[in-house]
Structure 1
Amino acid sequence: MNTPRQLPTLAISLAAAVLMAITMGSRSSFGLFVAPLNAATGLGLVTISFAVALNQLLWGLAQPFVGLVADRHGSARVIATGGLGLATGSALLPFVGSAAELVLALALLAFAGAAAGSNGLLLGEVSRRVDPERRGLALGIVSAGGSAGQLVLGPTSQGMITAAGWESAMLGLAALALLALPLALMFRTPARGPAAAAEDRTSVPVRDALTSPAFWLVTGGFFVCGFHVSFLISHMPGVIADCGLPAGLAGWWIAVVGLCNIIGSLIAGAAIRRGSMRRALMLLYALRALGVAAFVALPKTEWVMLGFAAWMGFTYMATLPPTVGLIGKLFGLRHMATMVGVVMLVHQIGAFLGVWLGGIVLIHTGSYDWMWHADIVLALLAVAIHLPLVERPAARATPPSTPEATLSPAGAG
């Protein structure tokens, strides 16, 4: 290490990455528990899909409030409290016997997961603690942590379900959540240098950011991301089963997504250091549309499934670093956790619709065809709504009520 700040920067990035791995890995693996949970409770796919979709929505609703508390009072206690709640909610799931109990347990998991390791909280903290020249790569490392969680917990959860039953597997995830307590200690002391303090002073107030069309265009793109990601994670095990493929393939599908997502997140984080974040997002959403269209057209073999997992994995959470980076560039870092929390709320509204509509479409049509078509259309829409963005920092020398995050009439930026 050449400077004394590099080690803390790496340490805080890795701590946030591990927290992201725990929370996102657990959430990504939940699709593996849907079938055994349905068999054990008899609640039905539509009821369970609605409960899981509500969990997605509540996770999003919690994020702006979690970000606001962390911005004002620090994040260490928030993370530790979230870890305890996440362990408690996971431990309660094997004992649910009704739809109301399932909804309550998943609601607790939603709020606790947002506190222990939400994107807004962790990426906001890392953004404020890392120098601008290393910020993009640091965000990529944190995003890759979520992918690493999928890579490890996907096949591990599937293996535990097969070997010891879904109840034991869920209790194992509950024990894993307790690692949030020691990791929270990394966030006790603010680690902000003069550059971060200067950025704080020139940041746009949250109210002004929320009235900017640019904010809502970036957020609208992330709505599409939530729809894609949550539909795939929750319903791909069912898609694989419907195609007559081995059930164990579902765990490996999630693992391949996670492995490729590590690479995609790191590449995206490194690329936005000097390249256009707006163009990176447009490319990623276009690649998603192409991937889904190819999957629909190809025969559903094991290799096609794994190839689809790899393709989607490269773009899966790679949208996160440029999205967060673009919000920070346009509106500053002082209220980053709160603003990204709002972005994640809209993301989770998309997630709610992706999970819930997936179950409804399957029940009423007998296939997921309409969902695949919706995925393609929404991905192309996400490309289109980034066209009018101007990738320019908010005005620093003018009053905060007149941010310069505007739209380009020609759509260039």
Structure 2
Amino acid sequence: MQSRPILILVLAGGLISLLAIGARAAFGLFLEPVSSEFGWGREVFALALAIQNIVWGLSQPFASAIADKYGSGRTLLVSGLVYASGLFLMSQTGSATELHLTAGLMIGMGLSGTGFGVVIGSVGRAVPEEKRSMALGIVGAAGSLGQFLMVPLGQAFIGNYGWSMALILLGVCVLLMIPAAAFVTGKASDSATAGAASLSAAIREAAGNGSYWLLFFGFFVCGFHVTFVAVHLPAYIVDMNVAPEYGAIALSVVGLFNVVGSLASGYLGGKYSKKYLLSTLYFLRAALFVAFILIPISPVTILVFAGVLGLLWLSTVPLTSGLVAVMFGPKYMTTLFGFVFFGHQIGAFLGAYIGGLAFDLYGSYDIVWWMSVALGIISGLLHWPIRENMPVQRAQAAGG
């Protein structure tokens, strides 16, 4: 791994994140046209994406462990094929069950091996500690750039070809990650970096660490926030009598500004306490949601909200994954971040599903917006007491 130029690894990993996260970010655009065509309430499509997120979360630790043991490249190759197949089959769906199996189960499994977890672990092992936070920020920024590029592309596909062909075209785009997988290689046994003696020892150590659990529950809130917004913001904007294209524009702006946010968090995470930066991000999200709820909705307020939220969006990823590496060493960070990411996806499941359920019950998203405020405050508090250090004996071993 170390012989392969790190720049190529980071760029290939960034391309995979761009495609995987970018295509996923466009799914919210399909809620209204798919629901309208089949006469479903919003809960049906929301449940499909909720299943996707929980399957992603449940599969992530296994995909991460496979990558640690057998190599990142193989994991990315198989997962990319599953992801693309899910999109192709989703385009032919004719029932709620088929939607849940394709958009939910298959794409969720595909994302577990192509989303941030596997790429972050490979990059984290290869990059020296002093440059690791910035490298992880670049990977996160690439995912956000994917959102910026692929959400308007998805909207253009839907507008010109209909939702079914749009999914096929997104599937073709996702297949581009297959050749990139050849450059994101390596496994835990190749690494000479600090970490537990074995994968099972690393898992036991993390499970007995209170700070690890605080990170787990804090990342739960991130999943709730970003998935609720990504899935339901386009429909919410239509509900507020604003032109529907602003839904795609808003998600694209979120992605654009998070390129800056992810790079900034990667840079700052290398210089300042990661846990305090995370607390600040969550408190700022809560304040932003309050402002969005109370200020009348207009195209201008939507774009301002999207831009500020973009700065806070996936900026949590380099900081959270960086904390895992600081606390336990980078050797098994793919698997250990995978378990933390499961917490994120539990939140994502609830953010997607509760959003659709609340709308169908009350005809409004208001209760979910206020839940998001409360959860942001809670997450900000949870990160504060995290202990940001590696056990002494392994830190000494790594230095010697």
> Which residues of 2 match residues 190-229 of structure 1 at below 5 A?
197-200=192-195, 205-229=202-226
Partner of 2:166: 169
Partner of 1:343: 340
> Which residues of 2 match residues 41-190 of structure 1 at below 5 A?
41-106=38-103, 107-115=105-113, 117-188=114-185
**CA distance in structure 1 between the partners assigned to 2:348 and 2:137 by the alignment:** 22
**CA distance in structure 1 between the partners assigned to 2:333 and 2:188 by the alignment:** 15
Pick which of 301-310 and 201-210 moved more: 201-210
In structure 1, what residue type is equivalent to 2:135? A
Pick which of 357-366 and 40-49 moved more: 40-49
Checking the alignment, whether the CA contact within 8 Å between 2:122 and 2:185 is kept in structure 1 is no
Partner of 1:326: 323
**Pairwise CA distance, 1:330:** 0.6
**CA distance in structure 2 between the partners assigned to 1:398 and 1:303 by the alignment:** 50
Q: Gaps spanning 5+ residues in structure 1: where?
A: 401-413
Pick which of 303-312 and 363-372 moved more: 363-372
Q: Does 1:23 find its partner at 2:12?
A: no
Out of 355, 360, 363, the position equivalent to 1:363 is 360
Out of 239, 244, 255, the position equivalent to 2:241 is 244
In structure 2, what residue type is equivalent to 1:281? L
TM-score (norm 1): 0.91
**CA distance in structure 2 between the partners assigned to 1:155 and 1:225 by the alignment:** 24
> Which residues of 2 match residues 251-400 of structure 1 at below 5 A?
251-397=248-394
In structure 2, what residue type is equivalent to 1:112? G
TM-score (norm 2): 0.94
Q: Which one has a larger percent helix, Structure 1 or Structure 2?
A: 2
**CA distance in structure 2 between the partners assigned to 1:397 and 1:93 by the alignment:** 47
Checking the alignment, whether the CA contact within 8 Å between 1:157 and 1:169 is kept in structure 2 is yes
| Residue 219 to residue 189, structure 1, CA distance change in 2 (3 Å) | closer
* SS at 1:96 equivalent: coil
Q: Gaps spanning 5+ residues in structure 2: where?
A: none
Deviation readout 1:279-326 (Å, 9 max, x if unpaired): 100110011011001111111000000111011110000011111111
| Residue 201 to residue 45, structure 1, CA distance change in 2 (3 Å) | closer
In structure 2, what residue type is equivalent to 1:380? I
Checking the alignment, whether the CA contact within 8 Å between 2:196 and 2:328 is kept in structure 1 is no
Partner of 1:407: none
Aligned residues: 394
Partner of 1:405: none
Checking the alignment, whether the CA contact within 8 Å between 2:82 and 2:107 is kept in structure 1 is yes
**Pairwise CA distance, 1:163:** 1.4
Checking the alignment, whether the CA contact within 8 Å between 2:64 and 2:117 is kept in structure 1 is yes
Deviation readout 1:182-224 (Å, 9 max, x if unpaired): 011102456999xx50414678621111121110001111000
In structure 1, what residue type is equivalent to 2:194? E
| Residue 130 to residue 74, structure 1, CA distance change in 2 (3 Å) | same
**CA distance in structure 2 between the partners assigned to 1:29 and 1:315 by the alignment:** 19
* SS at 2:364 equivalent: coil
**Pairwise CA distance, 1:38:** 1.1
In structure 1, what residue type is equivalent to 2:178? L
